[in-house]
Structure formats: structure tokens, C-alpha cells
């Protein structure tokens, strides 16, 4: 199938992904002072903001310290937001290459996502520190975290195959993405827990695949409990659907990238 | 695909949409027949094939679709009709310095581009030193390329492209950039590629460059093929179609065709070029400490030419040198017997001291023997001189007529002067030009005041072998 060829193209050329990843980092931190420390700073700043708001709004924390409740959500959320944002612009951003060299183009959004994944891993160090500080015990359930991460990777890759290829034709997607993500943050259980959402809104709310994923992280990292299957199932369904649609659309639109981008 | 062809275009079409179209429609309609909206056809029903080892030139005015063909060949875009078949690994040389990222160093860019072209890190490691040496950028590889000069940028891009071991090389106007010395280095690399049996596709506006290196040529206008085949045929059609305005002109009589292009005249006999590269040209060695351009040979190809009057028998052109305060006027007339009369005048704009001057014809290496006066001899098969200007002088025969003969099918060339002061000289050019040169050399240094002087007059005849 034509849509799958865009994946095998990347598979055949693993070195390309590595080289693009290296480029992402080299370019990103070339003239930056704190460099990779930004990976901490981004979620840390949001966490401080939410902790401040919580001091007078009083979200229900389920008897856990609020900083860790919010950071466990900010960890996957920051990864999601930054990877969606950069990967959406990856086709437009690499226009100079795309116009000149024939290469598997799906590697561009994927490399952008993987570069953000490295930030995610750096930010995880702070998560570990919080867990140690608050003396939270982790069990075998922590072994499920890679599955959540994998689900999120599929979700982001599928979504950005769609957005990055449309952005090549219409810049509206690029311009609108930060606003969409801002909106998305508030309809995701980041500063509040999913329990705060009224029951009758829950089925609709859980159509947001990040709801299930974020709550999954929080259940495991803060409450040492299993994630709610219903919300995870809907996240899985949405992620797979987006991935399939993303592949088909990307395969169709990439033919004219060099002409339009 | 025939066994020999490495590139085959059959009925290829490519259109671009102008104005705005709705991308969602592109998404959901299976195959929207193009042509409904404001479509611009960049290529229409284009068919041609390139055989292994050919240097294939594509010429045409701006917007003819030349670069679109290269894009299709490079695989960065897909055709909207027809079929393209390519056998062999293609180097992406569409405009040099293709995917360089300004913030990355030269070294980082080499590795990134290598990976984009499908090379492994180890493969790039093996070639890295060669790439740097050819680009002459040792010591600059850790510098971000945004600090490179445009020449450095181009050199690195060219070096990278030719060192990726391509079987098919795509060249787009590259030789218009970089300094002259590097251009020659690139040309030498092309010749080496050709000798290795690799295929080169060249797109250019520079008729002189393409006609000197190409073996076959395609002339494209408004996305359609106008002529495909011999270099002389394609250029002839190009000149007829595009108008003989600037520094080009064509004469034809019987079996003989003369193509003037910016300070050189190429001569064709029954469609085969008997000259090579510079063809009929002049060269002047200027001396004088206070003058620009002193101490170097000024070939007539260095001037900027305009043809002032052209009829079916005569071309009259003027070339202004940028490199020296000189101008030349040429008159080329082809008579009914196919004899070419060549008259040259020199206009001096500021006082110059001219050390030596020449009027030459460079013939193809197919020419094997020479004769002049009572002397005769054979051209050595090898071109030993590696120096650009100091060529191997074989003999200086008496008299004012020289002849050269070659293979059975090639006509004997007789070159004669009616000007005094010129000595007949038989020369083997350097390795780069690989041509036999019949040279009329005036070795006497003269100081010239501003004015117009007769420079040379002579004629060139092709005699049946």
C-alpha cells in the first residue's frame, strides 16, 4: 500500500533519522545559553503557575501533594504540546531540503517528535526527584509507562503526519496550532483531575485522547493505581484512527510538497 | 526501456496550479483531471531518453520547464502524466548547496546531506577527507555555513554531490557560480565522470558551455520538446526560434554550419562538429604594469558579444572585453562553396601594450596529422600539458597555410591567413581542452594607442577527404 511506503522508507534509512535528530539538537541549542535545561524549565514554569492558582482555587488532589499531581500531567502534556507544535512545522521548516533532495519525508515530523522525546526524558528526571521527595512508592505498575509513551507516540505521529502535510499547503495550520494547543490544555486533565469533570460530560471529554493518557500517567506515578481502561481504550481508538488517516493523507499530499512548500 | 537507456521520459506532463485552490478537494477527490482550474503546464507530453555515458544538455528560455525536468529526475516531485524510468543512483545537484542548514557547521552539513542522500555514516567517513579537499575548505569545516562566502558554499555543495558516487549527475546552472578556476575543476570532474561511463544531465542558459561538453541535447520551449538530438541541431533550432539578438548567430551553406556564440565559432560538417570547445577564437596577451588584466591571455570568449548585423551569409559581431580596455569586431562570411572568411578588427580604448596575439582554430582530437609549407607530421595522441595556458607547441611550419587531416570521414581543414606578421604554429592543447590547435601567432610586442586596427584576416576551408 502506498501509505505504508512512507514508513518503510524511514525504516530502510535509519541513519537518516539519527542525522535529522542530531540536526534538530544542534540547531535548537546553537545560540542558547541554558541549552537542554529548557527541557526542565518549560514544565517547571507551568507547574509553578498552576501551584499558585491552586492556592486559591483549591482543586481536589485526592490526598496527594498538588505539585506532583500537576507535574505528572505536565510531563506528558509538555511532550505532547512541543512535539505537535514542532512536528507540524517540520515539512515547512525543511522546505529547502524537500525541494532539492528525494528522501523519505515522513522522517521530518518523526525526527521532530523524537527530539522532543529527549526533552521528555530529561524532564522525567525532575519527576523522579519529586517522587523521591514526596516519598511516593512505585510498584510493578510503573512498567506500564512505556506502553503509555508508545500510545502517545502513535497519537502524535499520526496527528502530525496530518497537520504537517496540510501545513505545507495551507499555513493556517501552523498559525493556528499554538491556539489549538492552548485550548487543548484546558480540555485536558492537567491542572485538574479527570474526576472534576461532570459524569454526563465524561464520554465526550474522553474523546480527547490526551485525557486518557495524562490520567494514565497520573494514576501510575501519583496514586500507584491502574489507569481507567475506558478512557485509555478511547485514547487508543482515536490514536489509531488518527494514525491511519495521517498516513493516507500524508502519502497523498507529499507528492506535491516540492511544488507547494 | 532499451538496454542502453538510463533515463526515459515518455509522454511526461507536469502542471502547477496557479492562484488558490482548496487543499481539501485535493484530499478527497480521487483524481481530479487537471486543466479545470488555472493550471500552468510546466511540461506537456515530453519524451526523450538518455543513454548511459551521455552528457545530455537541456536548453531553452526561462520557464521552458528545464528545471522541472531536473526536479522530476531527482524524484522530489512527481509527474501528472506519462512515465519516467530511471536506472541508476542520482546525485541531487539541483542548485548547489541544496539542503545546507545555515546554523550547522560544514562538517555537520556534510553528514546531514549525506544521510539525506542515503549514505551511511561510515560511507561518509570514508569520503569526508576527499570532499573537504576537493572543496578546498580544510580549516573551515567547523564554521557554521552561514559564515561561508557564496563561493565556499557552492564548492562544498558541488564536492558533496560528486563524491556521493552517483551514476547520474544532475547539473543546474552550476557553472555560472564559483570562480573560473573552480569552474574548470568542475568541468574536469565532469569529463572524468564521462570517461567513467557515467551519465550527466546539464541544464543551462550558457550555450557555449553546454555545446562544448554535451554529446546530445534537448531544446525545450513552453514545456514542449522543440528539438532533440544533435547538439548542433538543437542549438540551431534554439537560435532560429529565440532570435539571433545577443551574442549568437548561425550560418549555413551546403553541408557546412557555422555557429557563432560569444567569441567562439563552432564548425559543423554534415551535423558533426569538427571543431572543439573554443572552436574559432582569438587570444591576446596584454602587458603593462599600470593596466588591469595585464600578464594574462584574453580569449575572445571573455568578451561580452553582440551581433550587430546578420544576414544569411554574414555575421558581424562586436565583443567588449571586461578584463581589458579592448574590443573586437568579427565578420564571418560563408561563401557558396562552404569556405569561411574570417576578419577581425581590434579596437583599443586605452593605450595598451600587447605582447603577443593569436587567431586560432581548435579542432577535435579526431584530427591526427598536420601539414604546413613543406613540413608535415602527426599529432601525438596524448595531451601532456597540464597547464591551462602553456600548451605543447609541435611545430612552426613556413608559409601562411596549415592543414589538418583526421579520420576518413572527417574533412581536411585548411586554415590560411592573408595578414602579415603571423606565424603558422601547430599546437596540442592541454589535457582539459584535448584539442588540436592550428594557431596563427604574432609574437611581436606592440604598443597601441586608442583606435581601430585590423587584427587578423583569413579563411577556413573544408576539403573532401
Place of cell 499547503: A169
C-alpha distances (whole Å) from B243 to each of B31, B237, B252, B260 are: 41, 10, 16, 13
Q: Provide the pLDDT confidence category of residue B93 given band limits of 50, 70 and 90.
A: low
- Average pLDDT of span B36-53: 83
Query: Which residue has cell 514545456?
Result: B223
Q: Which residue has the higher pLDDT, B147 or B34?
A: B147
Size of interface A-B (CB pairs under 8 A): 92
* B242 part of contact set with chain A, CB < 8 Å: no
- Nearest neighbour of A102 by CB, restricted to B27, B75, B120: B75
pLDDT < 50 regions, chain A:
none
- The x, y and z cell numbers of residue A144, run together, are 506500564
3-state helix, strand, coil in chain B (%, to 5): 20, 40, 35
Residue B132 C-alpha, separation from nearest chain A C-alpha, in angstroms: 19
A54–chain B nearest CA distance, Å: 42
Is there a contact between B98 and A20 if contact means CB atoms under 8 Å apart? no
Q: Cα separation of A95 and B316, whole Å? A: 48
Name the residue among B170, B219, B224, B204 with its Cα closest to residue B42: B224
Mutation for A interface: B99, B103, B121, most A CBs within 10 A: B99
- How many residues does this entry show for chain B? 465
Q: Check A26 against B16: CB less than 8 A apart.
A: no
How confident is the model over B368-393, as a mean pLDDT? 88
Which helix (DSSP H) or strand (DSSP E) does residue A98 occupy?
helix A95-98
Please give the residue of chain B at the shortest CA–CA distance from A104: B116
For the ranges A193-202, B26-35, B256-265, B365-374, the lowest mean pLDDT is seen at: B26-35
How much is the pLDDT for B177?
A: 61
More confident residue, B243 or A214: A214
Please give the pLDDT value at position B30. 55
Beta-carbon separation of A100 and B94 below 8 A:
yes
Whether the per-residue pLDDT at B413 is higher than 80: the answer is: yes
Measure the CA–CA gap between A119 and B318, rounded to whole angstroms. Answer: 66
pLDDT above 70 for B176: no
A171 interface with B at CB cutoff 8 Å:
no
First to last CA, chain A: 25
Q: Which residue has the higher pLDDT, A14 or B425?
A: B425
**CB contacts, 8 Å: B74 with chain A:** 100-102
Of residues B421, B430, B370, the one with CA closest to residue B400: B421
Whole-number pLDDT of residue B273:
80
Question: Please, is B224 exposed, middle or buried when counting C-beta atoms within 10 Å of its C-beta (0-12, 13-18, 19+)?
Answer: middle
* Structural domains of chain B ordered from first start: 5-225 (3.40.50.300), 247-463 (2.70.98.10)
Q: Which residues contact A221 (CB under 8 A, 6 or more apart)?
A: A68, A72, A127, A131, A136, A138, A142, A145
Residue B1: per-residue pLDDT: 47
Q: Give the side-chain half-sphere CA count within 13 A for B433.
A: 23
Contact across the interface for A30 and B103, Cβ inside 8 Å: yes
Nearest residue in A to B111, CA atom? A19
ipTM: 0.82
- Band of pLDDT at residue B294, cut at 50, 70 and 90: low
Separation CA B463–CA B465 (nearest Å) = 6
Nearest CA in chain B to A168: B23
Chain A: closest CA distance from residue B88 (Å):
14
DSSP string, A55-69: HHH----TTS-HHHH
Q: State the pLDDT at residue B386.
A: 76
Q: Which residue of B has its CA nearest to A95?
A: B99
B292 pLDDT more than 70: no
Enumerate residues 6+ apart whose C-beta is below 8 A from A68.
A130, A131, A134, A136, A221, A222
Residue B288 is predicted with a pLDDT of 65
Specify the range with the lowest mean pLDDT, choosing from B62-66, B83-87, B285-289: B285-289
CB contact under 8 A, A19 and B115: yes
The mean pLDDT value for B212-241 works out to 81
- Please tell me the predicted confidence (pLDDT) of residue B35: 44
Return d(Cα B47, Cα B54) in angstroms, integer.
Answer: 17
Smallest Cβ–Cβ distance between A15 and the set B100, B108, B115 belongs to: B115
Which among A31, A101, A106, A108 is the top mutation candidate for probing chain B, defined by the most B β-carbons within 10 Å of its own β-carbon?
A101
With contacts defined as CB-CB under 8 Å, which chain B residues touch A102? 74-76, 90, 92
Q: Where would I find the beta strands (DSSP E) of A97-231? A: none
Per-residue model confidence (pLDDT) at position B358: 95
Round to whole Å and give the CA distance between A251 and B259.
Answer: 49
Of all residues in chain B, the percent with pLDDT exceeding 90 is 36
Length of chain A: 261
CB contact under 8 A, B23 and A256: no
Count other C-beta atoms under 10 Å from residue A171's C-beta: 12
Shortest alpha-carbon distance between residue A121 and chain B (Å): 24
Report if pTM > 0.90. no
Most confident of A142-156, B17-31, B204-218: A142-156
Please tell me the predicted confidence (pLDDT) of residue B92.
63
Amino acid at each position: 500500500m502506498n501509505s505504508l511506503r512512507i514508513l518503510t522508507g524511514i525504516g530502510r534509512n535509519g541513519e537518516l533519522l539519527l542525522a535529522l535528530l542530531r540536526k534538530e539538537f544542534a540547531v535548537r541549542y546553537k545560540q542558547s545559553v541554558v541549552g537542554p535545561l529548557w527541557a526542565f524549565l518549560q514544565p517547571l514554569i507551568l507547574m509553578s503557575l498552576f501551584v499558585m492558582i491552586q492556592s486559591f482555587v483549591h482543586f481536589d488532589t485526592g490526598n496527594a501533594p498538588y505539585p506532583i499531581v500537576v507535574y505528572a500531567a505536565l510531563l506528558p502534556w509538555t511532550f505532547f504540546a512541543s512535539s505537535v507544535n514542532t512536528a507540524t512545522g517540520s515539512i515547512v521548516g525543511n522546505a529547502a531540503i524537500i525541494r532539492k533532495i528525494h528522501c523519505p519525508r515522513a522522517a521530518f515530523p518523526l525526527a521532530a517528535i523524537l527530539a522532543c522525546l529527549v526533552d521528555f526524558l530529561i524532564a522525567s528526571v525532575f519527576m523522579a526527584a519529586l517522587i523521591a521527595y514526596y516519598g511516593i512508592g512505585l510498584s510493578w505498575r510503573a512498567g506500564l509507562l512505556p506502553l503509555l509513551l508508545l500510545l502517545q507516540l502513535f497519537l502524535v505521529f499520526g496527528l502530525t503526519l496530518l497537520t504537517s502535510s496540510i501545513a505545507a499547503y495551507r499555513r493556517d495550520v501552523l498559525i493556528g496550532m499554538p491556539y489549538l494547543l492552548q485550548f487543548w490544555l484546558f480540555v485536558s486533565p492537567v491542572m485538574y483531575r479527570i474526576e472534576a469533570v461532570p459524569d454526563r460530560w465524561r464520554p465526550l471529554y474522553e474523546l480527547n485522547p490526551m485525557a486518557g493518557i495524562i490520567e494514565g500517567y497520573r494514576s501510575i506515578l501519583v496514586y500507584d493505581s491502574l489507569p481507567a481502561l475506558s478512557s485509555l481504550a478511547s485514547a487508543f481508538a482515536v490514536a489509531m484512527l488518527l494514525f491511519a488517516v495521517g498516513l493516507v493523507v500524508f502519502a497523498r499530499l507529499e507528492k506535491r510538497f516540492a511544488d507547494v512548500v | 526501456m532499451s538496454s542502453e537507456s538510463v533515463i526515459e521520459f515518455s509522454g511526461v506532463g507536469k502542471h502547477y496550479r496557479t492562484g488558490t485552490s482548496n487543499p481539501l478537494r485535493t484530499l478527497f477527490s480521487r483524481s481530479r483531471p487537471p486543466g479545470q482550474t488555472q493550471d500552468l503546464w510546466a511540461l506537456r507530453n515530453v519524451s526523450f531518453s538518455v543513454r548511459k555515458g551521455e552528457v545530455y544538455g537541456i536548453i531553452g528560455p526561462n520557464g521552458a520547464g528545464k528545471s522541472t525536468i531536473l526536479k522530476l529526475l531527482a524524484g522530489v516531485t512527481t509527474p501528472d502524466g506519462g512515465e519516467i524510468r530511471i536506472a541508476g543512483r542520482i546525485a541531487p545537484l539541483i542548485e548547489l548547496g541544496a539542503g545546507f542548514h545555515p546554523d550547522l557547521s560544514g562538517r555537520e552539513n556534510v553528514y546531514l546531506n549525506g544521510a539525506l542522500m542515503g549514505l551511511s555514516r561510515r560511507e561518509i567517513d570514508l569520503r569526508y577527507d576527499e570532499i573537504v579537499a576537493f572543496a578546498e575548505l580544510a580549516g573551515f569545516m567547523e564554521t557554521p555555513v552561514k559564515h561561508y562566502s557564496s563561493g565556499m558554499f557552492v564548492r562544498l555543495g558541488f564536492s558533496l554531490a560528486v563524491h556521493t558516487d552517483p551514476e547520474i549527475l544532475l547539473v543546474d546552472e552550476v557553472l555560472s557560480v564559483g570562480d573560473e578556476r573552480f569552474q574548470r575543476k568542475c568541468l574536469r570532474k565532469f569529463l572524468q565522470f564521462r570517461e567513467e561511463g557515467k551519465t550527466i544531465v546539464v541544464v543551462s542558459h550558457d550555450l557555449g558551455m553546454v555545446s562544448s561538453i554535451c554529446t546530445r541535447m534537448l531544446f525545450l520551449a513552453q514545456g514542449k520538446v522543440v528539438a532533440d538530438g544533435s547538439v548542433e541541431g538543437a542549438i540551431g533550432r534554439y537560435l532560429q526560434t529565440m532570435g539571433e539578438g545577443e551574442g549568437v548567430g548561425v550560418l549555413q551553406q551546403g553541408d557546412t554550419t557555422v555557429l557563432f556564440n560569444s567569441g567562439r565559432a563552432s564548425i559543423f560538417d554534415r551535423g558533426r562538429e569538427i571543431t572543439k570547445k573554443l572552436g574559432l577564437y582569438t587570444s591576446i596577451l596584454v602587458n603593462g604594469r599600470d593596466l588591469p588584466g595585464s600578464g594574462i591571455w584574453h580569449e575572445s570568449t571573455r568578451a561580452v558579444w553582440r551581433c550587430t548585423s546578420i544576414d544569411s551569409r554574414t555575421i558581424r559581431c562586436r565583443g567588449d572585453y571586461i578584463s581589458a580596455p579592448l574590443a573586437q569586431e568579427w565578420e564571418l562570411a560563408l561563401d557558396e562553396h562552404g569556405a569561411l572568411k574570417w576578419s577581425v578588427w581590434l579596437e583599443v580604448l586605452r593605450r595598451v601594450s600587447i605582447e603577443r596575439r593569436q587567431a586560432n582554430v581548435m579542432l577535435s582530437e579526431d584530427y591526427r596529422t598536420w601539414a604546413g609549407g613543406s613540413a608535415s607530421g602527426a599529432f601525438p595522441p596524448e595531451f601532456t600539458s597540464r597547464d591551462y595556458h602553456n600548451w605543447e607547441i609541435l611545430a612552426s611550419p613556413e608559409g601562411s597555410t596549415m592543414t589538418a587531416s583526421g579520420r576518413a570521414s572527417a574533412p581536411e581543414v585548411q586554415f590560411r591567413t592573408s595578414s602579415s606578421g603571423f606565424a603558422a604554429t601547430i599546437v596540442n592543447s592541454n589535457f582539459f581542452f584535448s584539442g588540436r590547435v592550428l594557431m596563427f601567432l604574432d609574437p611581436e610586442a606592440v604598443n597601441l594607442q586608442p583606435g581601430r586596427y585590423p587584427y587578423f584576416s583569413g579563411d577556413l576551408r573544408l576539403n573532401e577527404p
